[in-house]
Structure 1
Amino acid sequence: MKPRAGLRRLAGANTLWIAVVLLVLIAVFGALRPDAVLTVFTVQTTLVETSVLLVLSVGMTYVVVTAGIDLSVGSVLVFSGVTSAMAMNALHGGDATTAGWGVVLVGLLVALVSGAAWGLVNGLLIARTGLPPLIVTLGSFGAALGAGQLISDGSNVAGVPDVLSDTLGTGTWFGVPNLVLVAAAVTAVGALVLGATAFGRHTYAIGSNEEAARRAGIPVTRHLVRVYLLAGVLAGLAGFMALAYFRVASITGHDTDNLNAIAAVVLGGTSLFGGAGSVVGTVLGVFIPAVLRKGFVIVGVNVYWQPIAVALVLVAAVWFDQSRRKARDRR
């Protein structure tokens, strides 16, 4: 792949206007309250608050680029957090203050495996049986949440090791929260793989035309399984990150994470019809609702306006995508 083509794919075709929207929002809120908006504290808290959603959205980007959808990631996040917390509790015997990194690593492994298991189920059902992604992931949305509630008796699971919450949850490295560093690393790798590797090219090809991709020799079934597996693994990692930050595996605290991730991906310019989009755009899409929410709180606007504003931007993004596709088809 030529360097310029690789850069274009990394950034995507629609990220410029999304970046402009984000900069305009920051400028408006910054002009209204420069003493509160344009501060290190506000930037840090905004980055931390969006870290978990960003990791979820990276996996969702791959799924949507294939013209799929995954409604289960929020429930998988909950299930992974619950299983991870219960595994660590079993190992440290209820004394979170003395638990070491060995316990934390086991908890991380359990979270990743839990997420991978649900992602694998989604991928196999979608790729091998031909069932619509909407139906399959809607089913696993309920199943994963129900399973998490069953094994936790419907209660939040506490007892997170102090070393995990103090290091990953609230710790910093040269002033940058560790949670943000993890999200940034995942995002960078996700952007590189999608924009500059054969795996990414196959993902775009399947989203553009699945049958043509199959005829070109791309193992479509296997690749779709891997894409949903990736989304599940990242949902598991997001569950572990949320566990570290909140110090508890919450059963009810992530009801809308799946919809927020989809909205972030679409706001970032990834086409719901597949074949177009980028992780860089998704990053911008994640921060538009975050900036709106933070800005409304700071300037004293009723916070209930935030979902209305996000909805308007989301509809505008889908309209822009459809208009672009129609213009391209007329050529």
Structure 2
Amino acid sequence: MSTPTKDIQTTVDDGLAKVPLGKRLVGANTFWIALVLLALIIVFTVLAPGNFATLFNLQTTLIETSVLLVISVGMTFVIITAGIDLSVGSVLIFAGMVAGKTMEALSPGGNATTAGWGVIIVGMVAGVLGGTIWGLINGWLIAVAKIPPLIVTLGTLGAALGAALLLNNGSDVRSVPTVLTKTLGYGTSFGGVPNLVLVAVVITLIGAWLLHTTKFGRYTFAIGSSAEAARRSGIGVTGHLLKVYLLTGFLAGVAGFMSLAYYSSTTVSAHATDNLNAIAATVLGGTSLFGGIGSMLGTVIGVFIPAVLTKGFNIIHVQDFWQRIAVGAVLIAAVWFDQQRRRRRNSR
């Protein structure tokens, strides 16, 4: 006997099968977002041919976006459920701080620079666990206590950041194992591909598989489209939302450890706007703030649009405040486009 969710999925698949591939491609958000990214690359390549389109610039852009991409994977799941998580940047900092303090505590004299892989693994587990706990707190307050996600994550944004600063009296942890920085932070493999990028790619691929091919992903879309309809279809909405926010906290913990490896420090000030950047990247990638729509490929493209804008503006010497205006304008345009598309769909 078929379940309601399987029947819905079958109906959707049958409907898509009747639409020509070319029309589906042109009608997809990801197609147009990819065109925007391609246009930006072409423009900056023409304006600065000897500086923008280089292997070094590509490598640095990939490394700089790796940490943001990991937290954006989690943000994609959250926003598809019609939720929001403003705390991911603070949770990232907290996880990095826990990892750094753990490695210091296990090192002679509190200096972790010469620590080996045993200490590093314990620090990594502690940091990721710290991020996961914040995800669990967010999930419980949102899914079980029924407090709006905006309020919950705004509160945990401040709480997680305050807890992180308390761990080291308001200072950054700067004692990071050298072997960690050389291996994960700046190390390369497979023909010069940075290890940090490989980690981000693997996590993104797992996220794409989870979102687009599993029951977990189908439930995520169903809840974002209509939580009440999903509940009536037999989906455990409360438990699923708890898992989604738990996943987001876990990925913020992973990103915190990656950042620690790259910067050789917790760099609290460098992550002040990571939460907004992750939301912007996800929305730019076509994930709807109203829930029920999104793709992991779109998020990947969305992460690179502001990165390419920033890199290109720096190369052609455009002042920093113009960069912020450009990214903000693109984000507003993406949300406006999403609203117009939903209105057209609802009017049919």
Instruction: Please tell me the TM-score bracket, short chain as reference.
Output: over 0.9
Note the 1:44-59 alignment, pairs <5 A. 44-59=59-74
Task: Determine if the alignment matches structure 1 residue 125 to structure 2 residue 141.
Answer: yes
Task: Determine if the alignment matches structure 1 residue 152 to structure 2 residue 168.
Answer: yes
- Aligned residue for 2:209, secondary structure, equals helix
Note the 1:25-104 alignment, pairs <5 A. 25-93=40-108, 94-104=110-120
Q: Distance in 2 between matches of 1:43 and 1:231?
A: 27
- Aligned residue for 1:35, secondary structure, equals coil
Task: Determine if the alignment matches structure 1 residue 19 to structure 2 residue 34.
Answer: yes
Residue 212 of structure 1 aligns with which residue? 229
Per-residue CA distance 1:74-125 (angstroms, 9 max, x = gap): 0000000000000011112234343111111111101110010000000000
Residue 6 of structure 2 aligns with which residue? none
Which has the larger Rg? 2
Q: Distance in 1 between matches of 2:223 and 2:307?
A: 31
- Aligned residue for 2:272, secondary structure, equals coil
- Aligned residue for 1:304, secondary structure, equals helix
Aligned letter for 2:73? V
Task: Determine if the alignment matches structure 1 residue 289 to structure 2 residue 306.
Answer: yes
The alignment of Structure 1 onto Structure 2 pairs a total of residues equal to 329
Residue 4 of structure 2 aligns with which residue? none
1:143–1:95 CA distance, 2 compared to 1 (3 A): closer
Per-residue CA distance 1:198-220 (angstroms, 9 max, x = gap): 00000000000000000000010
Q: Distance in 2 between matches of 1:175 and 1:187?
A: 20
Residue number among 118, 122, 131 corresponding to 1:106 in the alignment: 122
Q: Distance in 2 between matches of 1:119 and 1:279?
A: 20
Identical residues among aligned pairs (%) = 62
Residue 297 of structure 2 aligns with which residue? 280
Residue 325 of structure 1 aligns with which residue? 342
Q: Given that residues 58 and 190 in structure 1 are in contact (C-alpha distance below 8 angstroms), is that contact kept between their aligned partners in structure 2?
A: yes
- The Cα shift of 1:251 comes to 2.5
Q: Distance in 1 between matches of 2:67 and 2:282?
A: 14
Deviant stretches of 4+, over 3 Å: 1-9, 94-98
Note the 1:141-180 alignment, pairs <5 A. 141-173=157-189, 174-180=191-197
Task: Determine if the alignment matches structure 1 residue 194 to structure 2 residue 211.
Answer: yes
Q: Distance in 2 between matches of 1:95 and 1:118?
A: 27
- Aligned residue for 1:34, secondary structure, equals coil
Task: Name structure 1 gaps, 5 residues minimum.
Answer: none
Q: Distance in 1 between matches of 2:323 and 2:127?
A: 32
Residue 243 of structure 1 aligns with which residue? 260
Q: Distance in 1 between matches of 2:269 and 2:167?
A: 14
Q: Distance in 1 between matches of 2:211 and 2:31?
A: 18
Aligned letter for 2:68? L
Normalised TM-score (structure 1): 0.96
Q: Distance in 2 between matches of 1:25 and 1:16?
A: 15
- Aligned residue for 1:37, secondary structure, equals coil
Q: Given that residues 122 and 140 in structure 1 are in contact (C-alpha distance below 8 angstroms), is that contact kept between their aligned partners in structure 2?
A: yes
Task: Determine if the alignment matches structure 1 residue 258 to structure 2 residue 275.
Answer: yes
Q: Given that residues 113 and 175 in structure 2 are in contact (C-alpha distance below 8 angstroms), is that contact kept between their aligned partners in structure 1?
A: no
Q: Distance in 2 between matches of 1:239 and 1:95?
A: 20
Normalised TM-score (structure 2): 0.91
Q: Given that residues 13 and 277 in structure 1 are in contact (C-alpha distance below 8 angstroms), is that contact kept between their aligned partners in structure 2?
A: no
Aligned letter for 1:55? V
Q: Distance in 1 between matches of 2:136 and 2:130?
A: 10
Q: Given that residues 148 and 251 in structure 1 are in contact (C-alpha distance below 8 angstroms), is that contact kept between their aligned partners in structure 2?
A: no
Q: Given that residues 154 and 251 in structure 1 are in contact (C-alpha distance below 8 angstroms), is that contact kept between their aligned partners in structure 2?
A: no
Q: Distance in 1 between matches of 2:97 and 2:112?
A: 16
Residue 3 of structure 2 aligns with which residue? none
- Aligned residue for 2:170, secondary structure, equals coil
- The Cα shift of 1:165 comes to 0.5
Task: Determine if the alignment matches structure 1 residue 224 to structure 2 residue 241.
Answer: yes
Residue 138 of structure 1 aligns with which residue? 154
- The Cα shift of 1:250 comes to 2.1
